[in-house]
Structure 1
Amino acid sequence: MGNDFRFSERRVSIPGPEGNLDGVMTLPDDGTARGVVLMVHGDAAAEATQDGLYDAWFEGAADAGFATISWSKPGVGGSDGDWLSQSMSDRATEVEAVLDWAQARDDVPTDTIVLWGASQAGWVLPKVVAARADVDGVVAVSPAINWLRQGRFNLLAELDHDKASTQERERAVEESDHTRKLLEQRASYEDYLATTDTADPMSKDRWRFVMRNFGADAESDLVAAGTREIPVHLMVGLHDRNVDVAETEDVYRSTFGPHLTVSRLDGAHSLARTAMEDNDAIGLAAAIFWPRAIFAPRAIDDYSSFLSTIG
């Protein structure tokens, strides 16, 4: 049914800052690899394989001769801790712990190390690259630059997509501005709940997570990472409603210069085909019967080709 992927997989347990991290390690079918990719999730409670959605990425890495390590976020699956208690610096520390674990093991091919990260990982990857001399390349999938600007871009893009009325737009922007003001005032969750008009308010844990991270801006960390002068591959979807990919590309180009390559793909934020993100039934059917078709044309081949140039 299209899901006979070309890699082998085994479970791994990795010591992390908050306890053990439950993960997977994949390898090319012949069991040998010349390097390893570490996958850094975006937002939300992510399981190591994203419930199978990472299989195409695992296969793309395997085709290029790379192993892949991916782990469930703290508090997800068998991983200890709570991802909602993390700052972006905490997330970077977690990635470094996985790097240290990999470097200490004889069964992990660490001659060449590549970091892959999506969306929110854009605030994590540059911190790790700037701090480590053992990262040889980066694949950044739809990363944002500034937390607040990204949130506003997403809000307006979704309103446009939904063909919201002028009144609906004004009400949504007013609510967003109110939430920003509360965050800047370090307001309590109780104050947020008492004054928000949204029909779907954040949970208390989510409010605290946003409070920790709403000031995130990647530019200074990107500049620090740029001094490493390693290959960086930016992959963006032309139909991304979450992130202003034009801003991201401009900042990455000015930061990484000749060390940057960019692929613009006919996909959404996750690089899935837009039909997959906009229609749950189509996405589910593709995941079951034709999982390689989930992603935009050329996306995984492009990823594999970039990895083939590293090391």
Structure 2
Amino acid sequence: MPGRRERTTGPRRRRWVRGVVWSVAGVLVTAAGLGGVVVWQNTYALREERVVLRHDGHRLEGVLARPETGHGPYGLVVFVHGDGPTDATHDTFYRPLWESFARAGYASLSFSKPGVAGSGGDWLEQSMADRARETLAAVAWARGRTDIDGRRIGLWGASQAGWVLPKVAAADRGIRFVIAVAPAVNWLRQGRYDLLTQLRRDGAGPRETARALRRSDTTLALLRRGASYDEYRAALGRDADMTRRRWRFVTRNHTADAVADLRAMRGTPVLLVLAGHDVHVDAAETESVYRGVLPSSTLQVAHYPGATHSLVDHDLESREPLLTATAILLPRRLYTAGFLADQARYVRRFDSGRGTR
């Protein structure tokens, strides 16, 4: 009868039980197989060592990732994070890069930002100059290790690191190379570009766009006159979306511009990496500035037309279930095609004195 559950007896029940058992077994085997794939895909040809840097009165927790074999001395890539509370591995996102550099004979060094993953301090209390001094301390620490070749230390950084990398390379002329991935040049212009592209992407109409621009202009005027957080809250009302700590961070850094530091670091080889679907950084402006300031003999520009700001394929990043599955099952494929190999190829130029200076 409809809605009535029948009892299962005799041979029929045994067949039903066997079916359930084999179905459960199949699920377990599949899960075990997928588990094996996940473990394998998230195992990297690296030797990771937890390290500590003491700087500015704080203890910074980090990772030194060396090639799987050998004793060095290895060349070294020092990582400089973008915005946000980033740990040493960038939630494991850095590990495919570390592996690529390791296969080129390079170690990688990365520290969790102050206040993140055991590091002391507060990254929102830092200026870009503070971040540069922290990176210089990491380079000095690395030069003190016998397994690191102090003549082959380069920098890798993304996005907000665009204001840190040139400062470090200008201050330490021993930096062998800089890899700048989707770097910003001017804080205020970058913010306006980010706002406009987000509005277009969200399909904002003229009225909503005008309101967002007025809000942005009001915030900028407050920053320029050194307004307090309370003044910002009073002026913006419900549109005030920054916390007190974030307001202080922006107040410290909103005048950041990379041009003077880029001029000061002239002569250091630079790989500029640009994405075709970057909604946060104006890739055309960045390329124009870098080409206008740096000698063509030391600047190499790599374009990835299908990539987003994070160097993930645009089609992949826009499909969240697929993005999540890729991150778990095939993490190396998160990055756009060719990016990892190109990174390794670039640092190999600086082995045994090769490459320009």
Cα deviation per residue 1:233-256 (whole Å; 9 max; x = unaligned)? 001111000000111111111222
Cα deviation per residue 1:26-63 (whole Å; 9 max; x = unaligned)? 11111444300000000010000011011111011111
1:103 to 143, 146, 149: 143
Structure 1 residues 56-75: aligned runs within 5 Å: 56-75=96-115
Q: Which amino acid aligns with 1:215?
A: T
Structure 1 residues 1-311: aligned runs within 5 Å: 1=37, 2-33=41-72, 34-197=74-237, 199=239, 201-226=241-266, 229-257=267-295, 258-265=297-304, 266-311=306-351
1:117–1:125: 8 Å Cα contact kept in structure 2? yes
Question: In the aligned structure 2, how far is the partner of 1:71 from the partner of 1:99?
Answer: 11
Give 3-state SS (helix, strand or coil) of 2:175's partner.
coil
Question: In the aligned structure 1, how far is the partner of 2:183 from the partner of 2:94?
Answer: 17
1:175–1:197: 8 Å Cα contact kept in structure 2? no
1:19 is displaced (CA, Å) by 1.2
Distance of aligned partners of 1:98 and 1:50 in 2 relative to their CA distance in 1, 3 Å threshold:
same
Give 3-state SS (helix, strand or coil) of 1:46's partner.
coil
Higher gyration radius (CA): 2
1:32–1:65: 8 Å Cα contact kept in structure 2? no
Question: In the aligned structure 2, how far is the partner of 1:18 from the partner of 1:246?
Answer: 40
Q: Which amino acid aligns with 2:265?
A: A
Runs of 4+ in 1 over 6 A off after TM superposition: none
Cα deviation per residue 1:92-151 (whole Å; 9 max; x = unaligned)? 000011111111222334330010011111101111111112200010000011000000
1:14 is displaced (CA, Å) by 1.1
Q: Which amino acid aligns with 2:232?
A: Y
1:4 is displaced (CA, Å) by 2.8
Deviation larger for 197-206 or 133-142: 197-206
Gaps of 5+ in 1: none
Deviation larger for 8-17 or 181-190: 8-17
Question: In the aligned structure 1, how far is the partner of 2:318 from the partner of 2:223?
Answer: 31
1:284 is displaced (CA, Å) by 2.0
2:62–2:112: 8 Å Cα contact kept in structure 1? yes
Question: In the aligned structure 1, how far is the partner of 2:232 from the partner of 2:256?
Answer: 20
TM-score by length of 1: 0.96
1:281 is displaced (CA, Å) by 3.0
Question: In the aligned structure 2, how far is the partner of 1:118 from the partner of 1:128?
Answer: 14
Deviation larger for 14-23 or 102-111: 102-111
Structure number with the bigger relative contact order (C-alpha 8 A, sep ≥ 6) is: 1
Cα deviation per residue 1:245-302 (whole Å; 9 max; x = unaligned)? 1111111112222200011112111111224443443322211111011111111111
1:154–1:241: 8 Å Cα contact kept in structure 2? yes
Count of aligned pairs: 309
Question: In the aligned structure 1, how far is the partner of 2:208 from the partner of 2:301?
Answer: 36
Question: In the aligned structure 2, how far is the partner of 1:18 from the partner of 1:85?
Answer: 14
2:232–2:240: 8 Å Cα contact kept in structure 1? no
1:22 is displaced (CA, Å) by 0.3
1:199 is displaced (CA, Å) by 4.7
2:233–2:240: 8 Å Cα contact kept in structure 1? no
Give the CA RMSD over aligned residues. 1.4
Give 3-state SS (helix, strand or coil) of 2:312's partner.
coil
Cα deviation per residue 1:67-111 (whole Å; 9 max; x = unaligned)? 000010011011111110000000000001111111122233433
